[in-house]
Amino acid sequence: MDAAPFAGLGAADLPGTAAAERASLPLRELVPFSRADLDRWFRGGEPEADELERVLARASRGRGAIDLAVAEGLAALRRGQRLASLGFHLDDYAREVLGIGKRAAEGLARLGTELPARPRLREALRSGRVGLRAAETVLAVATGDAEAFWVERAARQTVRELEDGVRRAGRAGPEDAGLEDGDDAWVTLRTQLPEHERLVVDAALEAAGRNMPGSTRSERLEALAQEYLAEFSTDGDHDGARPLGPELRLSPAGERSRRAALEAEPERWPLLPPVEDWPAPDVRFDEGASAQEIDRTLRELAAARSTLEDVIGDCAYAIRRSGMHLRLGFATFRHYVEERLRLPPRAVEQRAEHEERLARSAGLREARRQKVSYERRRILARLPEDEIASWIPRAKAMTCVALRRAVDGERERQLRAQRKVSVPLPRRVAVLLAAALETVRKRVGRLVPAGSCLAILGAHFLGQWGDVLKRSPSRAQRVRERDLGWCQVPGCSHRAAHAHHVLFRSHGGGDEAENQVALCAFHHLRCVHGGHLTVFGRAPDGLTWLLDGAPFRGMAEG
């Protein structure tokens, strides 16, 4: 494999100011080698393998440098009315415009908001001396007189050592710092659910939703389990040690002890050459900058970031599949990402997994050829292979959030036809639900299928709360139910809290459903009544949205 095209990869290829052109970085399309091929190739010590690993480490330094600039830009957008003038929540803006997922965007915005009060940490990040993952880990404790101490630790210690130090200091690290390798804290409930039992479960979930407006399906399942356990359980300790059962699929345990053993070696990872630091782009977000100026700079940074992400995905897929990270002395791929690449591991793992799926999916490769974005391709990957190609035109025309709901709706229709249910749950909810299923089976005295257990939980919940379904909903509730509980502004992923009159009542508008649309509080109060966002037409399907007089589609154009 020719590694020469990567030779020019450097910090100079990145935009340095808001007016800089998009970075022109080389992309790589790796042939999907078999594991045996890659294993033989890497074990042989071929220079191409070493070069690929070096390119991955270098591209990761570049992405970390860009992420710091993006973090400061997102923090700037949070101030004042800037987000309202763009028509987006922060997480929706990051996903739809910049191609950055919600969790990553929230972490970057938090980092950008808190760094001004930590000048030493900010400078260490900007120079490349401290990596993004280490900075996130010590952010909570690197304050005041202790800042210099934690910056020095972040520059020389491993992430595991930093996590232990932060924990001893009595402070929590970033959200995924405590998650061990392979444990993403989510579980999927999968079971058969015949139609007569589904009717009961659906009614109970609807009643839970009436009691908890804006709740998700996992939160409503949690309410069903809590209601049942409150009356029938005799076990007050529903901790993570409980077996979840075959209907709840949990990720494997982590590798923390192996990491500690490898990191205790006198010389850590001696086979790895050092990687040159990559300073952050010299971008400044002035207090007087408008939202539109910040938006333009962030789009340029995101374009360079996307180019590097493509390189990272290709190389990470090959390295993880080959097992090279293990031969280099790391306990797991996540360990390698945190220490060698110095990035938060989840996004890199997802990239590598997506590249693996691309190698097996002609439909996803066609979507990439047609320039469907990475976030949209991840959504299309949920579909059966034979359906992906037909969804590509829709994916290019829809926001990510609309595409996800459409794909999820299609999957739900298919599951209903097969009399199945599949629900992603946070692990804490899965543990609670497992306890409820166990209690049902104990009371019945036999092994009841999980779907039947859900129906029993639903019937019990309806016995306690079924009266809410008999109450006549208000006009606003009917509007929110018609709009499935979601804010209808294009690109918004948030729950609706209000029903907005399209034609204001003060202007002669009536209370009929066609003149009302469900909105979240942000879009209703700060965007519409703040004078930035305008809507006209007839709900639900005949609405047109304008942002400061221009058509607003809630997505990056072009």
Q: Which two tokens stand for residue 160?
A: 């595991």
In this structure, the answer to whether residues 193 and 237 fall within a common structural domain is: yes
pLDDT single digits (tens) 260-318: 555 555 456 766 888 888 888 888 898 899 999 999 999 999 999 998 998 899 889 88
Domain count, the chain: 2
Query: Is residue 548 predicted with pLDDT exceeding 90?
Result: yes
178, 196, 204: which is closest to 436 by C-alpha? Answer: 204
In this structure, the answer to whether residues 466 and 524 fall within a common structural domain is: no
172, 170, 120: which is closest to 147 by C-alpha? Answer: 120
**pLDDT for residue 182:** 34
In this structure, the answer to whether residues 208 and 238 fall within a common structural domain is: yes
Cβ atoms of 523 and 547 within 8 Å: the answer is no
Question: Domain ends where: 445, 471, 497?
Answer: 471
**pLDDT for residue 11:** 41
Query: Is residue 540 predicted with pLDDT exceeding 50?
Result: yes
Question: Domain ends where: 471, 494, 525?
Answer: 471
In this structure, the answer to whether residues 537 and 488 fall within a common structural domain is: yes
User: Is there a domain that residue 422 lies in?
Assistant: yes
In this structure, the answer to whether residues 480 and 533 fall within a common structural domain is: yes
Query: Is residue 558 predicted with pLDDT exceeding 80?
Result: no
Question: In the predicted model, what is the mean pLDDT of the chain?
Answer: 84
**pLDDT for residue 254:** 43
**pLDDT for residue 183:** 38
Cβ atoms of 315 and 35 within 8 Å: the answer is no
**pLDDT for residue 262:** 55
In this structure, the answer to whether residues 242 and 390 fall within a common structural domain is: yes
Q: Which residues pair with 543 in a beta bridge?
A: 537
> What is the mean pLDDT of the segment spanning 167-195?
65
In this structure, the answer to whether residues 458 and 480 fall within a common structural domain is: no
pLDDT single digits (tens) 76-113: 999 999 999 999 999 999 999 999 999 999 999 999 99
Residue of higher predicted confidence among 519 and 329: 519
In this structure, the answer to whether residues 247 and 386 fall within a common structural domain is: yes
**pLDDT for residue 95:** 96
User: Is there a domain that residue 303 lies in?
Assistant: no
Give the residue ranges of DSSP H helices in 182-216: 195-211
User: Is there a domain that residue 195 lies in?
Assistant: yes
- What whole-number distance in Å separates Cα of residue 305 and Cα of residue 65? 9
Q: Which amino acid is at 403?
A: L
Give the pLDDT band of residue 224 (cuts 50, 70, 90): very high
Burial 124-140 (b: 16+ CB within 10 A, else e): bbbebbbbbbbbbbbbb
User: Is there a domain that residue 66 lies in?
Assistant: no
In this structure, the answer to whether residues 379 and 458 fall within a common structural domain is: yes
pLDDT single digits (tens) 325-351: 888 888 899 999 999 999 999 889 999
Domain boundaries, position 398: 181-251+373-471
User: Is there a domain that residue 272 lies in?
Assistant: no
**pLDDT for residue 276:** 86
489, 473, 476: which is closest to 527 by C-alpha? Answer: 489
Give the pLDDT band of residue 178 (cuts 50, 70, 90): very low
**pLDDT for residue 70:** 97
- What whole-number distance in Å separates Cα of residue 275 and Cα of residue 85? 41
User: Is there a domain that residue 57 lies in?
Assistant: no
Give the pLDDT band of residue 506 (cuts 50, 70, 90): confident
> What is the mean pLDDT of the segment spanning 148-162?
94
Question: Domain ends where: 440, 471, 502?
Answer: 471
**pLDDT for residue 427:** 85
pLDDT single digits (tens) 414-465: 888 889 988 888 888 999 999 999 999 999 999 999 999 999 999 999 999 9
User: Is there a domain that residue 412 lies in?
Assistant: yes
> What is the mean pLDDT of the segment spanning 117-123?
96
452, 460, 450: which is closest to 227 by C-alpha? Answer: 460
**Would you tell me how many other CB atoms lie within 10 Å of the CB of residue 96?**
25
**pLDDT for residue 180:** 34
Residues 6 or more apart whose CB falls under 8 angstroms from that of 408 comprise 382
In this structure, the answer to whether residues 438 and 380 fall within a common structural domain is: yes
Q: Which two tokens stand for residue 305?
A: 């970031």
In this structure, the answer to whether residues 394 and 537 fall within a common structural domain is: no
Residue of higher predicted confidence among 248 and 8: 248
φ, ψ at 428 (rounded to 5°): -60, -35
Tell me the whole-structure pTM to 2 decimals: 0.82
- What whole-number distance in Å separates Cα of residue 274 and Cα of residue 319? 18
User: Is there a domain that residue 140 lies in?
Assistant: no
Q: Which two tokens stand for residue 173?
A: 């690290």
- What whole-number distance in Å separates Cα of residue 308 and Cα of residue 300? 13
* Length of the chain in terms of residues written: 558
Cβ atoms of 74 and 108 within 8 Å: the answer is yes
In this structure, the answer to whether residues 395 and 541 fall within a common structural domain is: no
**pLDDT for residue 7:** 37
